[in-house]
Amino acid sequence: MSDRYRVGVVGARGYTGAELLRLLDGHANLDITHAGSRELAGQSVPELEGLKFESLDPEALASRGLDAIFLALPDGLSESFVGAASAETVIVDISSDHRWDPKWSYGLPELYRDKIEGSRRIANPGCYATAMQISVAPFLDILSGTPAVFGVSGYSGAGTTSSPRNDPEKLANNLMPYKLVGHNHEREASHHLGHEVRFMPHVHPAFRGLITTSHIPVTASVSAADARSRLEERYAGEPLIEFQTEAPDLQDGAGRLGVLVGGVESSEDGHNIVLVAAEDNLLKGAAVQAVQNLNLALGMPEFSGIL
């Protein structure tokens, strides 16, 4: 491909922003022309020669005429940038601000790819919501009740703003439950699957990595082998969805580009399936998925700059 596109990252100082810059820098068809950060404005972007952090307001950024903008901002801060941008500019919003907006494409390619292609407004999924939907989607037609998902992530998922969930002292030798009812990713996964899911999130003292264990009640009697076949058939040809026999550990997700699924088992009566999914909360849970979405929006090979 000969086309080149100019892209910017707003919120480039954060963990996800840093991963985005790294991936975009290795993309053959993209030029990073803006790295937004108020705190680091004027400083050089590490490992990106010639690029400095800038602090631009939404109108100033829109005047740059970028082909695409990634919004790696905390929830609730995206709207001014969206409002100022041209309708032709691709916006990939990594916050939760537009995940329920029907005017935006929901960017989980392995499940909703056809709605992302050519889109100019894409809501990137949450990290946990990605693993939950990948796990539950192949069984939607035979669900007999509400899937329950136990999740654990590294503390980078809590962002850079200081809180108990990213305090190394509070997390040391600890496992911290939080938001056990009504978590955003529970609502998000339930909404897009069209079926209620229950979710119990926890934070682990590791920096990165994410794991979910899903208990899925089904109407038919399903063996473990049949459950594995359903998953493998649903994601056949998906290079970012991998399978193994044993259950993955949280560290198996750290640094992984996609989702690793394993530990698929069935209860004695065949009416309850359990499986484990591991991913990196900053990669497939955020930055990798955002690049997938941009590639699809601009008509480039989906895995350019990723694989």
Strand partners for 199: 149
* Token representation of residue 46: 């590490």
Closest residue by Cα to residue 239 from 262, 261, 258, 263: 258
Dihedrals phi, psi of 271, to nearest 5 degrees? -100, 10
Per-position b or e across 113-147, b if 16+ CB within 10 A of its CB: bebbeebbbbbbbbbbbbbbbbbbbbbeeebeeeb
* Beta strand residue intervals within 39-175, DSSP E: 53-54, 68-71, 90-93, 105-106, 121-123, 148-154
Handedness of CA 31, 18, 86, 112 (dihedral sign): positive
- Annotation marks residue 139 as catalytic: no
Cα 144 to Cα 267: distance, rounded to the nearest angstrom:
14
Look at strands 68-71 and 5-10 and give their pairing.
parallel
| Residue tagged 């100022």 (tokens) | 84
- Selecting among 127, 152, 254, 291, the annotated active-site residue is 127
Task: Please give the positions annotated as active site.
Answer: 127
